[in-house]
Structure 1
Amino acid sequence: MKLRTFFLLLLAAVAAPAAAQNGCDGRLCFANNLDPFFDRLAQSRRDSGRPVHILQIGDSHTAGDMITNGWREALRQRYGHGGRGVLAAGRPYGGYLTWGVTASQTDGWEVNGIFGRAYANYGRPVGLSGFSQTARNTGESMGISADTPDQSFDRIIVCGIAEPGAGSVSLRLGFTTEEMDFDAPQRHTECKTVDTPYPQLGASLTTLDDRIVTITSFATMRQQGGVVLSNVGVSGSQLVHFNRNSDEVVRAELTEYRPDLIAIAFGTNEGFSQSLTPSEFEADLRNQVNRIRRLAGRDVPILIIGAPDAQTQSTALADNFGSPQSCGTGWYTPTLLGEIRSRQRRVAREMGLAFWDWNEAMGGRCSADRWRNDDLMRGDRVHFNQRGGARIGRMLFDDLERAAANHRG
């Protein structure tokens, strides 16, 4: 009995340093780097104090809002509704989805984006949302309406480009109307907040003259209490494309929106790339983390969401960093995906970030088959439907809650 006890103690002594060195508790690694965010959550109230703000940037998984909405709803139930958060202005593309609110705009807006058909190398400046919208005529408008009363808001924030000769807009929130003039001696990003005494179901912006107006983001929030989860993503984009937005605009928006946590959710498109190398991706990731910290002007907690499992029927696409890995069903996992995920984890460990293993949450390599068969993913075995997104978002929420409880405990 004594010998058995000795070996159990020896095993525990060996295992404890190994676990500490690994820094992971299940799917979540290096959670101690999120301690300032956990402190903000612990201090938050449903109806008082500045709302806790989470800002997620990423690709189509973020833009489609399936996963982020699942995470958002879990946060709302636990901490209260703080607003819908930061959005691209208007409807920058067909099929633009915004759970909880509906976006609208007139036809006279011209879009610029960091990727895809909207991207123009010398186009108008773009900020955090990945898009900007420009009007040159009187009476052009865009708006946001809450889908249900519990999605109402009593604050809107609009950011745009102030510059010589720029026009002005009318901002309306419920029965409150204020004017915002973008004419300025030098180009810079201007943000304006409009508040009302009571929550409203709609807000709008309308141009007042024929001078140029460029809007970079439009946020709806609550003045007091709750949690806000903003999802700003561009379908098809990679992390390197995030560098196409303006430093000046991003700095101003980060200062205005002041996120308490930034989640970086790229990696899927990189994992399918036929030209990217793991070392190039790692360099991009390190550069963008440093850039975000510099533009934020503070050491904001950052969570890297590792790339999920995804599949293709094309062996040519899957053969991008070694022999294709068959899932036995005519589908293959791109070999580069695992390398991208490995680099994400390493950067998190070395740069003081947290890392969440989305692939592990799904069940590991080839798990997209099961998720598709369970009607949680779309037929492309890359994107998630609403049920699948809700499940992933809840998993992420639960893992962060456990880490927050451990921190408080």
Structure 2
Amino acid sequence: MQKALSFHHRFPALRWLIARSWIFALMQVFAWNPSVAAPVEIPSDIGIRPRMNRIQFPDREGANRLNERLRRVRSLGLRIVHLGDSHVQFGSYTEGLRDRLQHTYGNAGFGLVFPYSAARTYTPAGYSTEHEGEWECAKSRRVPPQLPLGVVGMTCRTTDPAASFTIQMKRAPKADSRRLRIFCARNAEPMTLGIEADGKLIKAVIPAAAEDDPVFIEAILPRAARQLTIRPLEGLGPEAPFEIRGVSIERVGPGGVQVHTAGVGASRYWALLHMAHMEAELAALQADIVVIDFGTNDYLYYDTIEPGLEQVIRDSVAKIRAAVPQALIILTSAQDLYFKKVHVTSGRDFAALVRRIAFEEKVAFWDWFWVAGGPKSLPRWQEEGYARTDGVHLTPKGYYLKGELLAEALVVSLKWMEKHPRAKQLEILQPTQKKRPKADASKPSKASATKPRGNYQIHVVSVGESLWTISRRYNVTVEQLKQWNGLKRTTLFPGTKLKVYPSR
């Protein structure tokens, strides 16, 4: 007597289909669950401290809000803006962050790109740029900037009818990366742009200026393109320039992660206070996380933390918070540095300063200085090929690793906060260090009581200079400069002329 066949024996094809569906479902669960993401492979010889690799939260509010966002990332998406200096502009740092998060949560597009060749500077990893015609450009490294700046920190302007710029992506974009948001200025009359996407031309119109204008125009490509060329077609003139502040390449449809690269080499913290369109563009990008990643150029050259830096950082936080009140702001410390082969010792003080500001201002903090190894750790990075010989910058693989570690810190820290609902904050203490006595520039030195000798020279104060930086330049003291020029305060204004006598 034949045994009755089971359902699965009768329909083997259906059994295979059901099994495949279960496997696919499990893959989706694991793909969207950060708790099962493979840990970053950390080289053993460069001094990274994995247990310190956490985003520190002074309270639960930001972490809870972001955890809720991640639970709905497939429908709402997650948008990160990465502001910084050359470490960010190189692109590999943000690329590591982007790749890891998009692999876990989905790809919502490459994010911001810019015609860096027109600005005569290097293009971040991930794409290349070319341009035609004459362009006038400004960068946030110069304060005040020559042109109004937005999130990217650079602006290019042209009145040349032959002008254009081309973006060439190094990876083929996802099929649904068809939305362009072009951040540009408006003129009294409309302007027509030509957008050539892999050889296919479409047109987009920049409307005439009016009140409450959005800071961008939008164009939908017929298909995702690896090469984009943008040029003004109509409406360009001597009094009607084409002014570009960036292009965001985005997914059509909801969900996934965007990470916007916005770094400018040699920029300092105060650059954020001189970017006229930054608030409006952050709001337009609907940033959920803003990483503020400056500091290197604020203390590298003179190995000191200027007294005014703390207020600049606080003002920068306030400016960004006003623009995107619901965003999680993450401050960072800078890596161990060497300038002209001399160790820069202020990295530890800067890390402590930023940590204190973060907890007082109720924003998050990533202590990269200590995560990466702390004082005098950079030579180990250099020996293993993760840092350049200049003692300041990392190599592409070093920056990529840093970006992966930032992504991991974010995910692991959020999961920790979720698993510990009674924890009021997440704080990682810095390794015990001996406190060093700090020089007090306000106390007069013996040299300040002496009368000046010899012929003096005139120093004209530039934007961003302080009595401290000028004193270091001429090898004199702050108190001497104040005495020679009859100054009662340390505040300086651009254009002020100072007498500087020879140092003895």
Question: Would the TM-score normalized by the shorter structure come out above 0.5?
Answer: yes
- Residue aligning to 1:63: 89
Match of 2:329 among 279, 290, 302: 302
Q: Is the 8 A contact 2:53 2:405 kept in 1?
A: no
- The one-letter code of the counterpart of 2:131 is Q
- More strand by percentage: 1
Alpha carbons of structure 1 residues 80 and 52: separation in structure 2 relative to 1, 3 Å: same
**Residues 101, 80 of structure 1: alpha-carbon distance in 2 compared, 3 angstrom cutoff:** farther
Question: Which letter does structure 1 place at the counterpart of 2:138?
Answer: N
Partners of 1:200 and 1:63 lie apart in 2 by 23
Measured after TM superposition, the shift of residue 407 of structure 1 is 3.6
- In the alignment, the residues of structure 2 paired with residue 159 and residue 104 of structure 1 have an alpha-carbon distance, to the nearest angstrom, of 18
| 2:129 match: secondary structure | strand
Per the alignment, residue 127 of structure 2 pairs with 101
Tell me the C-alpha RMSD between the 2 structures: 2.5
Task: Report what 2:314 is aligned to.
Answer: 286
Selected match of 1:195 from 220, 242, 247: 220
- Aligned residue in 1 for 2:433: none
Amino acid in structure 2 at the alignment position of 1:235: G
**CA–CA distance in structure 1, aligned partners of residues 52 and 368 of structure 2:** 14
In the alignment, structure 1 residue 351 sits paired with structure 2 residue 361: yes
Report the CA distance between 1:146 and its aligned residue.
2.4
The 8 Å contact of residues 129 and 232 in structure 1, kept in 2 or not, is answered as: yes
TM-superposed CA distance for 1:140, in Å, is 1.8
Say yes or no: does 1:146 pair with 2:169: yes
Question: What is the 5 A alignment of 1:185-264?
Answer: 190-196=215-221, 198-209=223-234, 210-211=236-237, 212-224=241-253, 225-246=255-276, 249-264=277-292
Match of 2:398 among 388, 391, 407: 388
In structure 2, C-alpha distance between the alignment counterparts of 1:173 and 1:87, rounded to whole Å: 15
Give, in whole Å, the separation in 1 of the partners of 2:391 and 2:149. 31
Q: Distance in 2 between matches of 1:407 and 1:372?
A: 35
2:67 counterpart (11, 25, 38): 38
Amino acid in structure 1 at the alignment position of 2:195: L
SS of match in other structure, 2:385? coil
Larger radius of gyration: 2
The residue identity in structure 1 corresponding to 2:270 is: V
Q: CA deviation at 1:95?
A: 4.7
The letter for the 2-side match of 1:123 is Q
* Other-structure match for 2:138: 112
Deviations, residues 113-160 of structure 1 (Å, cap 9, x unaligned): 2225xx7x4732111111111110224212323222245621111011
1:317 maps to none
CA distance in 2, matches of 1:403, 1:275: 32
Moved more, 64-73 or 148-157: 148-157
Amino acid at match of 1:299: Q
Q: 2-side partners of 1:37 and 1:342: how far apart?
A: 25
Mapped contact 1:92–1:111 kept (Cα < 8 A):
yes
* Cα 1:79–1:64 shift into 2, 3 Å: same
Distance of aligned partners of 1:229 and 1:370 in 2 relative to their CA distance in 1, 3 Å threshold: same
> Which structure's residues are more often helix, by fraction?
1
1:178 to 2:206 alignment = no
Moved more, 277-286 or 168-177: 168-177
> TM-score when scaled to structure 1?
0.80
Per-residue CA deviation, residues 328-361 of structure 1 (Å, 9 max, x unaligned), is xxx4432322222111101110111111111112
Contact 2:109 2:174 in 1 (8 A): yes
- Structure 1 residues 193 and 299 mapped into 2: Cα distance closer, same or farther (>3 Å)? same
Opposite residue 63 of structure 2, the aligned amino acid is: L
Q: Tell me if the contact between 1:361 and 1:395 (Cα under 8 Å) persists in the aligned partners.
A: no
Bigger mean CA deviation after superposition, 369-378 or 221-230:
221-230
Asked if the contact 1:51/1:223 (under 8 Å) is kept, the reply is no
* Unaligned 5+ runs, structure 2: 1-50, 420-504
CA distance in 1, matches of 2:306, 2:227: 45
What is the deviation of 1:189?
5.7
SS at match of 1:134: strand
| Cα 1:401–1:39 shift into 2, 3 Å | same
Residue in structure 2 matched with residue 8 of structure 1 by the alignment: none
Q: Secondary structure at the match of 2:267?
A: coil
Shift of the 36–173 alpha-carbon distance from structure 1 to 2, 3 Å rule, reads farther
Kindly tell me: are residues 407 and 197 of structure 1, through their superposed partners in 2, closer, same or farther at Cα, counting changes over 3 Å?
farther
Cα offset, 1:291, TM superposition: 0.8
Match of 2:8 in 1: none
In structure 2, what residue type is equivalent to 1:181? I
Structure 1 counterpart of 2:370, which letter?
Answer: E
C-alpha deviation, 1:198, in angstroms: 4.0
**Partner AA of 1:343 in structure 2:** L
Counterpart of 1:263, as a letter, is: V
In the alignment, is the contact (CA less than 8 A) between 1:27 and 1:358 conserved in 2?
no
Distance 1:311 1:207 in 2: 45
SS of residue matched to 1:405: helix
1:155 counterpart = 2:179: yes
Could you tell me how far apart the structure 1 residues matched to 2:132 and 2:382 are?
38
Contact kept in structure 2, 1:89 and 1:218, CA below 8 Å: no
Distance in 2, Cα, partners of 1:113 & 1:198: 32
Normalising to structure 2: TM-score of the pair? 0.66
Percentage identity across aligned positions? 22
Greater displacement, 340-349 / 271-280 = 271-280
Aligned to 2:102: 76
> Cα offset for 1:400?
1.3
Letter in 2 for 1:389: Y
- Is the contact between residue 51 and residue 222 of structure 1 (CA under 8 Å) also seen in structure 2? no
| SS of the residue 1:162 aligns to | coil
SS at match of 1:199: coil
Taking the aligned partners of 1:375 and 1:275, their CA distance within structure 2 comes to 25
Distance 1:402 1:185, change over 3 A: closer
